[in-house]
Structure 1
Amino acid sequence: MKQRFRLGVDAGGTFTDFVLAEKDGPLRLFKSPSTPDDGTRAIAAGLQQMAEALDMSASQIVQNCDLCINGTTVALNALIELKGVKVGLLCTAGHEDSIEIRLGHKEEGYRYDASYPPAPQLVPRQLRRAVRGRVLSDGSVHEPLNEDDILAAIEVFRAEQVQSVAISFVWSVRNQAHERRARELVEQHLPGVFVCCGSEVYPQVREYTRTSTTVVNAYLSPVMGRYVQRIDQFFAEHGARAPVRYYQSNGGLALGTVMRERAVNAINSGPASAPQAGLYIAKPFGIDNVITVDMGGTSFDITLAKGGQTQLNRNFDFLRHRIGVPMIHVETLGAGGGSIAHINTFGMLEVGPHSAGATPGPACYGKGGEQATVTDGNLALGYLRPNAVLGGTIRLDQDKARSAIAANVAEPLGISVEKAAFGINTLVNMNMANGIRRISIEQGYDPRDFALICAGGATGMHITALAEELGVETVLVPKSASCLCAFGQVISDVKYNFLASAPMRLHREADLAELNRLFADMEQRGRQLLLDDGFDAADIRVHRSVEMRYMGQIHECTVDIAGGELGAASVDAILAAFHARHEALFTYSEPHNPVELVNLECTLTGLVDKPALPSLAQDADSIRDAHDGFRPMLFDDSGRWVETPVYRGEQLLAGSRIVGPAAIEEPTTTVVIRPGWQAELHTSGTYKLTRWAE
């Protein structure tokens, strides 16, 4: 850190989280209610809290920050709520309906459901305009571009008051000339309208994926652009010394100028920082395989990192829209503290995906909610302190929680409130465990080889039960768990992804000169961006990967490869890595079959200085002063309550060892340690939870 502070801002749907890291000082956490209509109001409220805590003005804090980093759900919420701008599409004649045909794809679980509705279309049929002109797969022009078609489409867009235009022509990745000319014409005749081209947004093979990604980018970029402009202006008015950085879905930072043009890169801006934070938290323990789980009020987000590398998704469906650009793989479930427990039409208990939200919220909030939720279940089981105050204003009412569980679950099933509460807890745990299996086992990873990282305010009450279900032996719970994504922002690097397409059979006699040229071009562009951004050459890292498949396959495997000039020996290493990855994913490989290279990716990273983790004083005897009595808790369906010791986390020092059953109450989260588990507080401010035997 070059200045006194570094500020991370994670703007969520309900709360905006702030982490203020001080050079050679403490890590401070703040929260303020989110203001979706104008994010600067929530940031101003958070800065005011910091000003009061530090006895400084908000401007002084901003001026003493080397980096101000913003993660936001603006793009995600606009896509969820379908509140982007009106988009027009210019596409190759005959391909007007490719984004609606969707390669004939129907989501898993609905393949044979004729009643399942079609995916929503971001561009209505009348705004998808055909353009004659054709480029072939080798880049040659088969038919000249028909500019009259483009001009006619522009008149339609003007009459329809289109605010954004997406351009995606067939094989534009092999020859961009037609797309560039179309862009010139749109910018000339529709000044002020946002324009983006598929060959720039997603320059890789797959026409449907490229068109869909470009349409999503066009749909969101004006919305993101307005948000970025307000945030940039806000920090500039407070005297920021450096431009604001924005968190990207690929797990890195970028300037606002980039985000205004590539809003598709900001869809998972919030949870994408979780694996970086998880790896940093795990580093003092020598752990580099982590699964980070974040349970909030509405959702449960899961991310995975293997060998210190985060897991990226490419060419996948997000909210039923195909996205091609790399994004941190985030598995999201409707399993949060506000998830509603109900009896379905078959007379069985279900939990989620619908949520009571913050208003009216769980029944125990006393704000008018009458439905039973996960939080009500945790309160009824004794995991939460009765009458505890959340957020300074909400007092938990155990009687209301029990009444809601009785009316909505226990009485319809003819069971006790205790059994119903335990059933709610068990079912949501199973849902979350299945989500973790989808991001691990179904991707070729064994969760037993990973540590679970606890994030979010609600996860601590479920984390040891999840670990038991998955066979995980180590759990890490940082004191900063409730703001872990904001923490992940302040320790993240600046990152740019570059994509290219190079379809060819890969063997020793392949056109390696073309591959070397493409990689060199991507690396040169990335290095220049980072050098212009103030990074030294020594702080720039390059990572390469390729998408490959056996001839005849329709899906590719992503394989990491070494840098440097590619030669015959490099080809052998790449092929060996592909066969190994294919076997890890699908349990078999075919070394005797020819392999096809499809797409290339190059990631350039500018390393930033990382703030240090806390350094707690050592005193194993602090457990005596931290002990805060006992509370009855229920850990199984036997109905046997266990008098469980409770500890105040703020008074625990490093070396404290707590044997379960127990509960540790931190200011923003509660950690429930089930029987058979123990927790030890590390000097870095993280609880390490492991199994123990009597």
Structure 2
Amino acid sequence: MGLQINIDNGGTLTDICIMADDTVKKTKVLTTPYDLSKCFFEGLTKASGVLYGAPDVKRLLEEVDLIRYSTTQGTNAICERKGPRLGLILDGAAHDLPSRLAAHDADVFEALVGDRIVFLDAATVTGEAADVEVVKAINRLTAMGANRLVVSFDGADFRAVEDRFRLIALRKYPRHLLGAVPILYGSDITSDVDGERRTWTALINSFLHPSMEAFLYNAENRLRAYRTKNPLLIFRNDGDASRVAKTIAIKTYSSGPRGGMEGVKTFSRRYGFTDTVSIDVGGTTTDIGQYSNGTVAEVRRGHVEGISVSFPLCEVLSAGAGGSSIFKVVDGRVVIGPESVGAVPGPACFGRGGREATITDASLLCGLFDPTSYFGGGMGLDADRAAAAVTANVATPLGVGLDDALLRMEFAYEEKIAAELHRFTKISDETVMLAFGGAGPLNACGVAEKAGIRRVAIPQMAAVFSAYGIGSCDISQRYAVTLDDAAAVGATLDALKVKAARDMFAEGCTEGTYTLEARLVADFGDGRTETVMLGDQPELPPAFKGARSVELELKAVRSLREGAEKAAAFAPKSSATPHARRNVLIRDRGRIDVPVYRLADLAEGAFASGPAILEEDYFTCRVPQGWQFVISNAGDILLSRED
């Protein structure tokens, strides 16, 4: 393995994982949401310092073989409803479509589209009055405040109608004019015959596109200036990667969490876990997934905030609670999220102008963090600002003291994540909870207790686990075409292979360096689908002829994955030696001194019981009373409830 840099961009922190030969190193920088390219290059600069002993980004970019990038920006944008105002043009025969779209998630539909909807009859678009009516529709939506439009027609000929609309729009609003309005057509994204899925897919892609495009092309252009050997690779939510120009915005949605799930898969196989639920806690969200039966859950028609879309997605739930999520008191009860202070202004204790109360502030005040060593010693924390935020936003509205408010915040945080775990996953006596992300290990045992889980695993690379997980991805391109003619399987497949050859060449992959895999998927319209792999003689199976629709799917893959993961185990051998002691607020016991263990100082098999603190440069783990930890021969952590 040559030199690889994996970057996972979160709402608050950006994680960098450096893989060189058999060593793995890590670092972090604060996310700069106003300019993502800034934290991207700050991360590369800091990574060069970790690698060479002093910052030398020019040398790093000359020597690096691969740079992979994943992000939670799309997830956060949907969660926080931050993005452009969309206008929607629909088929006049589908007046009930808005209500059907809103039925998927009324809040998201209102935030993205609201009442910015215009209906046009397909016959009008293809008729003599088309020019006038198309212009009127576009002008009406822009006058209502839409700054991006989505066009989605229905019926068997929806592609032809959208193509006709496109010709008129380009003629009346040439793209070189400043007044041109970005328009996305549902048929550009997918040939899915389900109008609801196709429209939602186009809406979400259009919503995410501007911010992702601006950042990614800017980052790629800056990398070119350093003459990097290979283009920036974007890790997608299907588990593979491709260059910026060959990636669409919706494929970046939840790509960071999907990187974490790739890590969950590898970690579970390493230790022989058969049932693993994961919590990836960042600054804005907690991403929840599950590994069972040897793989992570993925569905052919994935879900974004519960909304069905046309592409395959790993089943990951993004709950609006993270290290920078805002606590408030509602009807005498402490609630958290989904609003977040992000990295700017950040939690109050960061001293960057934040005045809201977060779990980061509460953890500092509880004594879990050392203000001088937090974030690898690169960021001092201000306890006075944290106390002011918690007092003003939680303690005073509740009429309680500061310590009581801190315990209630902790309980509300753990209770919310535990409830989401039960809602989204299946928990059994064999379930192990894998906790990662910068804030994942912090309250992992508390979450596990409330969820009825007795074992918690924390990877040594927990703080950058999603960045670590994307290091095993391949380069791929995927295609799906709905067959209009059952006899055209061979010709359609040949056309897709030509397209795949061109796209993979653009990825730097010549013929013979990648593999092709084709299949037919029949949808019978009753929730039942059937799949058959295509061989040398592509033809439609007789059983597919009664299907509602048949899609031909092709995948081209250049494998980058390394060999099999080495097995590891947890076996207690000797008592761990504490590094220091810290005064910590403990429920029902008040503030007491507890031992602090540094992960870097602990040998294989070291173990100890709580209450205690286990910490590393970029994460802190509370070990409650009644729990014990042990270090594996790979440097990972297992916490278990003592009988």
**TM-score, normalised to structure 2's length?**
0.81
Alignment CA distance shift 1:224-1:408 (3 Å)? closer
**What is the deviation of 1:239?**
1.2
Q: Which of 274, 281, 289 is equivalent to 1:295?
A: 281
CA distance in 2, matches of 1:379, 1:435: 25
Structure 1 counterpart of 2:195: 207
Amino acid aligned to 1:105 = A
- The answer to which of 406-415 and 475-484 deviates more is 406-415
Change in 2 beyond 3 A, CA 1:39/1:671 = same
CA contact (8 A) 2:237 2:251 kept: yes
Does the residue aligned with 1:120 lie in a helix, a strand or coil? helix
CA offsets, 1:148-177, max 9 Å, x none? Answer: 5157525864896997664433235x6744
2:463 and 2:619 in contact (8 A); partners too: yes
Q: Which residue number in structure 1 is paired with residue 111 of structure 2?
A: 120
**Structure 1 position 433, deviation (Å):** 0.9
Paired amino acid for 1:647:
Y
Deviation at 1:647, TM superposition (A): 0.9
Give the counterpart letter for 1:688 in structure 2: L
Tell me the CA shift for residue 519 of structure 1. 8.0
- Taking a change above 3 Å as real, the CA distance of residues 482 and 557 of structure 1, as seen in their structure-2 partners, is farther
Aligned match of 1:471 in 452, 456, 464? Answer: 452
1:49 aligns with 2:46: yes
Residue 666 of structure 1: CA displacement?
0.1
2: CA distance between counterparts of 1:81 and 1:674? 33
- CA displacement at 1:122 relative to structure 2: 3.9
Task: Report the Cα distance in structure 1 between the residues aligned to 2:340 and 2:346, rounded to whole angstroms.
Answer: 8
Give how far 1:21 is off.
Answer: 1.0
Look up the SS of the partner of 1:105 in the other structure. Answer: helix
Q: Which runs of 5+ in 2 are unaligned?
A: none
User: In structure 2, what is the Cα distance between the partners aligned to 1:236 and 1:117?
Assistant: 37
C-alpha contact 2:345 2:352 (8 A) present in aligned 1: yes
Offset from partner CA, 1:619-674 (integer Å, 9 cap, x none) = 988965x52133344554x2365643211112223332333333211000012222
Q: Secondary structure at 1:664's aligned position in 2? A: strand
Aligned residue number for residue 607 of structure 1:
559
Alignment partners' CA distance in 2, 1:544 and 1:352:
42
CA distance in 2, matches of 1:165, 1:72: 25
- Seen in structure 2, the aligned counterparts of structure 1 residues 683 and 64 have a Cα distance that, compared at 3 Å, is farther
Letter in 1 for 2:198: R
Aligned in 2, Cα 1:369/1:63: closer, same or farther, shift over 3 Å? closer
Q: Which amino acid aligns with 2:452?
A: G
- Whether 1:40 aligns to 2:30 is no
Question: What does residue 585 of structure 1 align with?
Answer: none
Q: Does 1:629 align with 2:620?
A: no
Alignment of 1:171 with 2:122, yes or no, is no
Superposed counterparts of 1:2-151, under 5 Å:
4-24=2-22, 26-53=23-50, 54=52, 55=54, 57-73=56-72, 75=74, 91-95=90-94, 100-103=98-101, 105=103, 107=105, 119-122=110-113, 125=116, 128=118, 130-133=120-123, 145-146=126-127, 148-150=129-131
For 1:501 and 1:76, the matched residues in 2 are separated by 29
Q: Report the counterpart of residue 614 of structure 2 in structure 1.
A: 664
32-41 or 181-190, which deviates more: 181-190
1:364–1:398 Cα contact (<8 Å) kept = yes
Aligned with residue 310 of structure 1, among 293, 296, 304 = 296
* Distance in 1, Cα, partners of 2:4 & 2:213: 24
Letter in 1 for 2:310: G
Alignment-derived partner of residue 652 in structure 1: 602
Matches within 5 A, 1:575-586: none
- Conserved 8 A contact 2:263-2:468: yes
Aligned match of 1:374: 359
Structure-2 residue corresponding to 1:507: none
Distance in 2 between the 1:372 and 1:37 partners? Answer: 22
> Which residue is 1:581 aligned to?
none
How well do the aligned residues superpose, as a CA RMSD in angstroms? 4.4
Secondary structure of 1:424's aligned partner? helix
CA deviations on 1:430-461 (whole Å, 9 max, x unpaired) are 10011112221xxxx33555432221112212
Indicate which of 204, 227, 244 corresponds to 1:256: 244
Select 1:437's aligned residue among 419, 422, 441. 422
Contact 2:570 2:631 in 1 (8 A): no
Once the two structures are superposed, residues 66-112 of structure 1 have per-residue CA deviations (whole angstroms, 9 ceiling, x without a partner) of 221122355556666777567665543434x55533356274xx8xx
Which shows bigger deviation, 529-538 or 58-67?
529-538
Whether contact under 8 Å (1:491, 1:611) holds in the other structure is no
Q: Which residue is 2:408 aligned to?
A: 423
Q: Deviations over 1:41-87 (max 9, x none)?
A: 22222222233331573233223222211223555566667775676
> What are the residue-to-residue correspondences of 1:187-202 with 2, within 5 Å?
187=170, 190-192=174-176, 196-202=184-190
- Deviation at residue 30 of structure 1 after TM alignment: 2.2
Gap change, CA 1:516 and 1:329, over 3 Å in 2: farther
TM-score, scaled relative to structure 1: 0.76
- Preserved CA contact (<8 Å) 2:302 2:314: no
The range that moved more, 676-685 or 664-673, is 676-685
Write the letter of the residue equivalent to 1:228.
L
Q: Is the 8 A contact 2:356 2:390 kept in 1?
A: yes
Distance in 2 (alpha carbons) for counterparts of 1:285 and 1:16: 28
- Give the secondary-structure state (helix, strand or coil) at the position aligned to 2:242: strand
Distance change >3 Å, CA 146–CA 295, structure 1 → 2? same
* Change beyond 3 A, Cα 1:426–1:239: same
Structure 1 pair 617–502 and aligned structure 2 pair: CA distance change class (3 A): closer
AA partner of residue 488 (structure 1): G
Distance, in Å, in 2 between the alignment partners of 1:339 and 1:169 is 39
CA distance in 2, matches of 1:52, 1:282: 32
Q: Is the 8 A contact 1:339 1:355 kept in 2?
A: yes
Query: Are residues 121 and 404 of structure 1, via their aligned partners in 2, closer, same or farther at CA, if it must alter by over 3 Å?
Result: closer
Q: Following the alignment from structure 1 to structure 2, what is the Cα–Cα distance between the partners of residues 350 and 149? A: 52
Q: 1:613 to 1:668 in 2, by over 3 A?
A: farther
Q: Is 1:686 aligned to residue 633 of structure 2?
A: no
Name the SS for the 2:255 alignment partner.
Answer: coil
For the 8 Å contact 2:12–2:346, the answer to whether it is kept is no
Does the 8 A contact of 2:490 with 2:539 survive in 1?
no
Secondary structure at the aligned position of 2:597 is classed as: strand
User: What does the per-residue CA deviation read over 1:100-145, in whole Å, with 9 as the maximum and x for residues that have no partner?
Assistant: 33356274xx8xxxxx89713549647x4625349xxxxxxxxx93
Q: Percent identity?
A: 23
Q: 2:473 aligns with which of 462, 467, 492?
A: 492
How many Å separate the matches in 1 of 2:501 and 2:266?
Answer: 25
> Quick one: which amino acid aligns to residue 464 of structure 2?
C
Paired with 2:208 and 2:345, the residues of 1 have a C-alpha distance of 30
Residue-by-residue CA offset, 1:192-230 (whole Å, 9 max, x unaligned): 565544234122122132123224434543543333321
Seen in structure 2, the aligned counterparts of structure 1 residues 476 and 493 have a Cα distance that, compared at 3 Å, is farther
Partners of 2:609 and 2:524 lie apart in 1 by 50
Q: Is the 8 A contact 1:628 1:646 kept in 2?
A: yes
Alignment of 1:405-416 (within 5 A): 405=390, 409=394, 413=398
